Structure 1
Amino acid sequence: MSKKMFVLIVALMSISLIGIIAVQLYWINNAVESKKEQFENDVIKSLGSVTQRINESEQMSLDREYEGVLQNKIAPDEAQIKNFLFQEIDTINNQKFTYGGTILEENFKMPTDFLDNDTIIIKRITSKNDFSQSTLIKGPDNLFASTDEKRYSFTRRLKNIERSEFAEFYKNISSSKPIHQRLSNRELNATIKDELQKRGINLNFKYGVYTNDGLATKLKSGYYTINTKESYEYPLFLNFDNNPKYLLYVTFPTKNKHILSGISGILLLSLFFIFIIIIAFSSSLYQLIQQKKISEVKTDFINNMTHEFKTPIATINLALDSIKNPKIINDNDKVKRYIKMIRDENKRMHTQVENVLRISKLEKNQIDISKETIDMHDIIEEAISHVDLLVKDRGGEIKLYFKAIVSEISGNEFHLKNGVVNMLENAIKYSKEAPKIDVFTESTNKFFVIKIKDEGIGMSKNAQKYVFDKFYREQKGNIHDVKGHGLGLAYVKEIVDKHHGTVFVESEKGKGSIFTVKLPLI
């Protein structure tokens, strides 16, 4: 896959993911807003019903209070004048209310031509009323020392004039009282709760009644304060010109929780799908990146393997051509030398193939690693003997520091020895100067520890993360200043894992590396 195609695929996947998440969030937000709007409508309807019930309750209470007066009226036969006079004294507010009413009822008979000379009786009702409100000033000599009267008169025709006139009187009396005398906290709280429950709102609430000037009244729950953003407002009582005299405010502390609980199923389902989409996208992106890395690593491996095979094949071909030469074929020494060269190069190619196959079999658990009690000091010494000539040939040395008190473990001698050899060869390959290698051993309560230190070129922090991966080499491309296929340390990792141990590296560019292996003791 080309770099441009890879970037294009990642960009398209990212745009798709962002689009899907944006659509999901849009629908979630719409659902929440719709639920909020429905909640607000239910609350406003409930408060409207609360106001209506309170007004009706007050009217019924006044009707009962003055019902005796209405029931004791005497209906006239033809025409009669009825006079009413009521007085009510409010000792708390020091106010007196006086209501006077005069009602004239007259019956008239009018002849008609279209009903067989029958007559129609028409009743005419004329009324006049007076209302006064006085402020009481208590003094030693007189009870009403000063008055502030509001009087008005009007005439009108109504079918049920008596009750209508009394309703006007009731309204005047009620509106002049403080609201806490007209309505109790208990009644208001119970009415609000009942109306909310009718619409499925079973939430704790707080309320407060304020005048239209913003002054608090005694009708409130606890220490209630108005929150303009969270409170719902509705007029409670109207004055003479039908403007709100009092405003009822209701607040729900757990409103948001209630709204979200109504759509919790859809919300959780949407969030779950968004999470699945993100996981799938991340996994796909990770796999793409990994596949790209593997593709690059395999390309490097093929290039290096081709180069490694190319040299021995060319050497073998030259040796065979030389043997065919009549001058050399009769020279036994030269023939033997060329045959040995062919055998060595063939063995070299065989070893490289075996390394690749061995890694593959280890990953598939196709190699049976039998374990027995072995001494790791002996294994290390045998491994050093395999690379000793290489080290001396480059003028280097290997120093041993065996400090482990216990060195016996349960393991496979062949594979552990190959693992140590691979680490030593790695230290030799990546040493530009004469290799100087130190091998340390130590033991803890549970582990036998091997440390192989070199003074080579070291590696970057990024390389340390992948150094035990198959085919990984820090040099990229067909670079052969350091030979290898990136299989040696991968093989070490597989062997150590099979022995339930751990292996890691500490390195710094230009200062060498330290490979540490921990193997469990018997």
Structure 2
Amino acid sequence: MRRSFIIFYALITYALAELTWWAYLLVKAMPSSFGMIMGEGSVFIFVFFVGAYSLHRSILKERKLQEQKKNFLLSVTHELKSPLASIKILLQTIQKRDLTKKQTLDFIEKSLKDIERLDDMVENMLLASKIDNQSYTFPKDKFNLSGLVDSIVNRLQITKCESNQQIIDAEIEPKIEITGDKFALTSVVTNLIENAIKYSGPCATVAVKLFSKDDKVYLQVADHGIGISDMEKGRIFDKFYRVGSEDTRNTKGTGLGLYIVKEVLDKHQASIKVKDNRPVGSIFEVVFD
């Protein structure tokens, strides 16, 4: 990519030098046409610089996309290896040691959670690919959103902090029904809650609220994590984009979660906005009209 930039700027410099030289020769050969030559030359230079600037931005965008894809592949590799290594160790322990029934069941439960994590990641990548290829039709049916959110909260619930504290604090209004793609909206709810847990501190509470108001359905996911700067709020729904610097980031992820959230909600004519939580953290609010 660096070589491409060098060639690009070299060609621009060469073109400008040639233009200047030919303009000088024309003026020297036809002094009376100086005004016409300068006018047409100015228009040409303007168009030339506009084109060069557009090409420069395209090259920078492509360079950034390639870097994001590289980081995505590294993240996916890590995300796959981590749960697979955990499952392997747990199963080898069950195989090689004489464990009690309680210990065996505990290890199996941990393995199943890692498998669910892998399944979520694979579903995200498949859905993102189908959205990009415009091969997913988003079939819509009426279903119970309250039951869906409740089941996802129960699956992602963590109760291994002090006093068996629950990480996800859910307030779900019962019997809320909407018309939509249940599979895709399952991914939306899962990504929002997992994202909130991921960017929160250990044992920090994540609040999930589902309620109806003024003929609209609201889903709010609030955390007390690192928060999102105003500059990044407009970019977090971009594909592969992740909050923070690639060099200093400690959180796991592929950069596909919020991209899928935004794309799916757009297909459902639903909106999502990000607000600051107080004193720290973020609130993602989804509104179904």
Q: Which residue of 2 aligns with 1:12?
A: 10
Q: Which residue of 1 aligns with 2:52?
A: 281
Per-residue deviation, 1:492:
0.3
Whole-angstrom CA distance in 1 between matches of 2:8 and 2:275 = 34
Q: What is the one-letter code of the residue matched to 2:67?
A: E
Q: What is the one-letter code of the residue matched to 2:10?
A: L
User: What is the aligned counterpart of 1:473 among 225, 242, 245?
Assistant: 242
User: What is the aligned counterpart of 2:269 among 476, 483, 500?
Assistant: 500
Per-residue deviation, 1:388:
3.6
Q: What does the per-residue CA deviation read over 1:145-182, in whole Å, with 9 as the maximum and x for residues that have no partner?
A: xxxxxxxxxxxxxxxxxxxxxxxxxxxxxxxxxxxxxx
Q: What does the per-residue CA deviation read over 1:299-335, in whole Å, with 9 as the maximum and x for residues that have no partner?
A: 322332222222223233334543553x549x77766
User: What secondary structure is seen at the aligned counterpart in 1 of 2:234?
Assistant: helix
Q: What is the one-letter code of the residue matched to 1:506?
A: K
User: What secondary structure is seen at the aligned counterpart in 1 of 2:171?
Assistant: strand
Q: TM-score, normalised by structure 1?
A: 0.45
Larger deviation, residues 460-469 vs 15-24 = 15-24
Name the CA shift for 1:442/1:459 in 2 (closer, same or farther; >3 Å): same
Question: Is contact 2:171-2:209 (8 Å) kept?
Answer: yes
Q: Which residue of 2 aligns with 1:322?
A: 93
Whole-angstrom CA distance in 2 between matches of 1:438 and 1:341 = 24
Name the CA shift for 1:497/1:26 in 2 (closer, same or farther; >3 Å): farther
Q: Percent identity?
A: 27
Whole-angstrom CA distance in 2 between matches of 1:358 and 1:346 = 18
Question: Is contact 1:459-1:508 (8 Å) kept?
Answer: no
Is residue 437 from structure 1 mapped to residue 219 from structure 2 by the alignment?
no
Name the CA shift for 1:267/1:427 in 2 (closer, same or farther; >3 Å): same
Whole-angstrom CA distance in 2 between matches of 1:20 and 1:281 = 16
User: What is the aligned counterpart of 1:417 among 186, 189, 193?
Assistant: 186
How many pairs does the alignment contain? 285
Q: Which residue of 2 aligns with 1:363?
A: 132
Q: What is the one-letter code of the residue matched to 1:430?
A: Y
Q: 5+ unaligned residues in a row in structure 2: which ranges?
A: none
Whole-angstrom CA distance in 2 between matches of 1:342 and 1:396 = 20
Name the CA shift for 1:318/1:280 in 2 (closer, same or farther; >3 Å): same
Name the CA shift for 1:352/1:377 in 2 (closer, same or farther; >3 Å): closer
Whole-angstrom CA distance in 1 between matches of 2:172 and 2:111 = 39
Whole-angstrom CA distance in 1 between matches of 2:211 and 2:27 = 64
Q: How does 1:356-395 map to 2 (within 5 A)?
A: 356-374=125-143, 376-389=145-158, 395=166
User: What secondary structure is seen at the aligned counterpart in 1 of 2:136?
Assistant: coil
Name the CA shift for 1:316/1:453 in 2 (closer, same or farther; >3 Å): closer
Q: 5+ unaligned residues in a row in structure 1: which ranges?
A: 37-259
Larger deviation, residues 484-493 vs 431-440 = 431-440
Q: How does 1:50-449 map to 2 (within 5 A)?
A: 271=43, 274=45, 276-325=47-96, 328=98, 341-374=110-143, 376-389=145-158, 395-398=166-169, 400=171, 409-432=178-201, 434-437=204-207, 439=209, 441=211, 443=213, 448-449=217-218
Higher share of residues assigned helix: 2
Q: Which one scores higher on RCO, CA 8 angstroms, separation ≥ 6?
A: 2
What RMSD over aligned residues (CA atoms) do the two structures have, in Å? Answer: 4.3
Whole-angstrom CA distance in 1 between matches of 2:21 and 2:177 = 64
Whole-angstrom CA distance in 2 between matches of 1:336 and 1:451 = 34
Per-residue deviation, 1:422:
1.3
Whole-angstrom CA distance in 2 between matches of 1:504 and 1:25 = 54
Please say which structure displays the higher CA radius of gyration. 1
